[in-house]
Structure 1
Amino acid sequence: MQCDLNVPFPQDVTDESIKQLKLTLSTLIELNYTHVAINKNLTPEMYHQPSKKQKQQMTQQQQQKNEQYNLKNDLDAFFKYFEQLENKFSSKNLKLFSRVTVEIDDPNQLGSIFINLNAPSNPNRFDLVAILPLSEKGLSFLTNNNGASSNSASIDILTFDYANYFNGFHLKHKTMNGITRRGIKVEILYSGIFNMSNQSNLKFVNNAKQVVRCCRKGIKTCIISSGAKKNTNVRGKIAVESILSFLGLKADIYSRMLKENPLSCLLNGRLRVRSYQQTIVSGIDVMQKNDFIDEESLETVNGFVVAKREIDDNNDDEHVSKKQKV
Structure 2
Amino acid sequence: MQCDLNIPFPKDVNKESLNKLELILHTLIELNYTHVAINKQLSPKMYYIPSKKQKQQMSQKEIQDLEEFDLKSDLETYFKQFELLEEKFKHKQLKLFTRVTVEIDDPNQLGSIFINLNSPSAKNRFDLVAILPLSEKGLSFLTNNNGSGSNSTNVDIVTFDYNNYFNGFHLKHKTMNGITRRGIKVEILYSSIFNTMNQSNLKFINNSKQVIRCCRKGIKTCIISSGASQNVHVRGKIAIESILDFLGLKADVYSRMLKENPISSLLNGRLRVKSYQQTIATGFDVMMKDSELEQKGYEVVNGFVVATNNINKDTEQEPPNKKLKK
Taking the TM superposition and a 5 Å limit, the aligned residue runs for 1:105-254 are 105-146=105-146, 150-197=150-197, 199-216=199-216, 219-254=219-254
Contact 1:284 1:303 (8 Å CA) reproduced: no
Which piece of structure 1 moves more, 146-155 or 88-97? Answer: 146-155
Which piece of structure 1 moves more, 210-219 or 145-154? Answer: 145-154
d(CA) in 2 for partners of 1:116, 1:305:
35
Q: Deviations over 1:255-277 (max 9, x none)?
A: 11000000000000000000111
1:76 aligns with 2:76: yes
d(CA) in 2 for partners of 1:240, 1:205:
14
Contact 1:79 1:124 (8 Å CA) reproduced: yes
User: Which secondary structure does the structure 2 equivalent of 1:99 belong to?
Assistant: strand
- Aligned residue in 2 for 1:260: 260
Q: 1:272 to 1:37 in 2, by over 3 A?
A: same
d(CA) in 1 for partners of 2:230, 2:68:
29
Tell me which amino acid in the other structure corresponds to 1:157.
I
Q: CA deviation at 1:88?
A: 0.3
**Structure 2 unaligned runs (5+)?**
309-315, 319-326
Q: CA deviation at 1:41?
A: 0.2
Q: CA deviation at 1:151?
A: 2.2
Q: CA deviation at 1:218?
A: 5.3
d(CA) in 2 for partners of 1:302, 1:194:
40
d(CA) in 1 for partners of 2:131, 2:153:
13
Q: CA deviation at 1:310?
A: 3.7
TM-score, normalised to structure 2's length?
Answer: 0.89
Tell me which amino acid in the other structure corresponds to 1:156.
D
Which piece of structure 1 moves more, 302-311 or 42-51? Answer: 302-311
d(CA) in 1 for partners of 2:88, 2:16:
17
- Aligned residue in 1 for 2:14: 14
RMSD: 2.4
Taking the TM superposition and a 5 Å limit, the aligned residue runs for 1:34-53 are 34-53=34-53
Q: CA deviation at 1:139?
A: 0.3
Contact 1:101 1:130 (8 Å CA) reproduced: yes
d(CA) in 1 for partners of 2:49, 2:302:
48
d(CA) in 2 for partners of 1:301, 1:10:
34
Q: 1:64 to 1:295 in 2, by over 3 A?
A: farther
Q: CA deviation at 1:169?
A: 1.1
d(CA) in 2 for partners of 1:264, 1:301:
16
Contact 1:95 1:289 (8 Å CA) reproduced: no
Superposed structure 1 runs of 4+ greater than 6 Å apart: 292-295, 300-303
Taking the TM superposition and a 5 Å limit, the aligned residue runs for 1:44-63 are 44-63=44-63
Which piece of structure 1 moves more, 59-68 or 232-241? Answer: 59-68
Tell me which amino acid in the other structure corresponds to 1:36.
V
Q: CA deviation at 1:253?
A: 0.8
Q: Deviations over 1:141-161 (max 9, x none)?
A: 011223875123310000000
Contact 1:128 1:266 (8 Å CA) reproduced: yes
Taking the TM superposition and a 5 Å limit, the aligned residue runs for 1:93-108 are 93-108=93-108
User: Which secondary structure does the structure 2 equivalent of 1:163 belong to?
Assistant: coil
Q: 1:254 to 1:299 in 2, by over 3 A?
A: closer
- Aligned residue in 2 for 1:321: none
Q: 1:296 to 1:134 in 2, by over 3 A?
A: farther
Contact 1:55 1:63 (8 Å CA) reproduced: yes
d(CA) in 2 for partners of 1:85, 1:23:
11
**Structure 1 unaligned runs (5+)?**
312-326
Q: 1:47 to 1:217 in 2, by over 3 A?
A: same
Tell me which amino acid in the other structure corresponds to 1:9.
F
Tell me which amino acid in the other structure corresponds to 2:167.
N
User: Which secondary structure does the structure 2 equivalent of 1:91 belong to?
Assistant: coil
Q: CA deviation at 1:123?
A: 1.4
1:305 aligns with 2:305: yes
d(CA) in 2 for partners of 1:218, 1:34:
26
Tell me which amino acid in the other structure corresponds to 2:150.
S
d(CA) in 2 for partners of 1:285, 1:258:
21
Q: Deviations over 1:224-263 (max 9, x none)?
A: 0000001011000111001000000011111110000000
Tell me which amino acid in the other structure corresponds to 2:233.
N
Contact 1:141 1:147 (8 Å CA) reproduced: no
d(CA) in 1 for partners of 2:288, 2:71:
28
